[in-house]
């Protein structure tokens, strides 16, 4: 069972990607799996800090004591360390992570829709280690930053703020990967990429792409934590779904577990496709 994201502390929020966020991709540019040292558990959007020093079994700390705004709070040990964040945002109970700059550059102005919300609080340089993100909190986006929907996507998948895309990392309401990722009918190709730098290696056939995406969207979403808690780390295959608008979605696949680190177990057909070499 997934942990309740609202019980996570900001003491988990550390540098990530995105995907996922997520230092999910490692390895070399050849072979069926990426040949690199197995990764440590990557950060998810509600794991935005370097280490978790707050147990979910401990009583909640009043929110005002987890915001480092006055001398009283500055004296608390949880408010003294310098915290390294990755680019994260929370809306409702959905956690998003900011995508790399090359993704934003591919969006035409007309892709940005109406404003749907505004950032209420920026954590960077202010939140203590035991801070718990609430809706409209962000790590770097300044308070007052408008948040926009993207015309081609459901806002539960992607939103746009301060010139960049924020993509879902965890959504406790999603039941399938199709609920998590609004990409049905929007995929151009399935690509194999390097886990080192994300560089293109090859594209799978249109038939394999269609079959992979068809199965992917039907998978039960079990969550990020379920995959990492129930399977030992292994060498991963790095994939990219190239979308028709020019942006992309990165996926990390564990062949031995037949799992996507996003939070789902694959089908046998998906595994056969992933293990194909060019």
Residue ranges per domain, the chain?
5-274
Nearest to 20 by CA among 151, 170, 238: 170
For residue 23, give Cα distances in angstroms to 36, 45, 100: 12, 12, 13
- Rg (alpha carbons) of the chain, rounded to whole number: 19
**Contacts within 8 Å (CB) and 24+ apart, 54-57:** 54/9, 54/11, 54/129, 54/130, 56/3, 56/4, 56/7, 56/8
> Would residue 263 be called left, alpha or beta, if left means φ above 0 and alpha means ψ between -120 and 50 degrees?
left
Enter the tokens of residue 140: 């770097």
Cα torsion angle, 176, 180, 185, 186, sign: negative
> Would residue 104 be called left, alpha or beta, if left means φ above 0 and alpha means ψ between -120 and 50 degrees?
alpha
For residue 92, give Cα distances in angstroms to 40, 64, 140, 209: 29, 20, 18, 33
pLDDT one digit per residue (tens) for the chain, 278 residues: 434 443 343 433 433 333 333 332 222 333 333 433 334 343 443 445 433 333 445 677 888 889 888 888 878 888 888 888 899 999 999 999 999 887 878 788 899 999 999 999 999 989 998 999 999 999 999 999 999 999 999 999 999 999 999 999 999 999 999 999 999 999 999 999 998 888 999 999 999 999 999 999 999 999 989 999 999 999 999 999 999 999 999 999 999 999 999 999 999 999 999 999 87
Report the Cα 147 to chain-centroid distance in Å.
18
Q: In what order do the strands lie in the sheet with 237-243?
A: 200-203, 187-193, 237-243, 248-254, 259-260, 264-265
Cβ–Cβ under 8 Å, residues 96 and 167: yes
């Amino acid at each position: 069972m997934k942990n309740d994201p609202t019980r996570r502390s900001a003491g988990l929020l550390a540098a990530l990607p995105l995907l996922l966020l997520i230092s999910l991709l490692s390895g070399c540019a050849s072979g069926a799996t990426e040949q690199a040292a197995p990764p440590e558990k990557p950060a998810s959007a509600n794991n935005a800090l370097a280490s978790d020093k707050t147990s979910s079994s401990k009583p909640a700390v009043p929110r005002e004591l987890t915001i480092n705004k006055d001398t009283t709070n500055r004296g608390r040990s949880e408010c003294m360390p310098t915290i390294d964040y990755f680019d994260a945002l929370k809306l409702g109970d959905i956690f998003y992570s900011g995508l790399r700059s090359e993704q934003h550059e591919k969006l035409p102005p007309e892709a940005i829709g109406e404003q749907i919300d505004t950032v209420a609080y920026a954590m960077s340089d202010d939140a203590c280690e035991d801070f718990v993100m609430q809706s409209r909190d962000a790590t770097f986006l300044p308070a007052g930053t408008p948040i926009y929907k993207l015309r081609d996507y459901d806002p539960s998948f992607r939103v746009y703020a301060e010139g960049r895309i924020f993509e879902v990392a965890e959504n406790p309401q999603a039941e399938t990967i199709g609920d998590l990722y609004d990409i049905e009918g929007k995929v151009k190709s399935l690509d194999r990429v390097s886990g080192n730098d994300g560089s293109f290696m090859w594209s799978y056939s249109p038939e394999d792409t269609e079959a992979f995406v068809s199965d992917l969207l039907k998978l039960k979403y079990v969550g990020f934590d379920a995959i990492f808690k129930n399977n030992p780390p292994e060498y991963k295959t790095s994939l990219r779904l190239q979308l028709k608008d020019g942006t992309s979605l990165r996926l990390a696949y564990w062949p031995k577990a037949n799992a996507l680190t996003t939070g789902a177990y694959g089908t046998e057909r998906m595994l056969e496709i992933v293990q194909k070499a060019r």
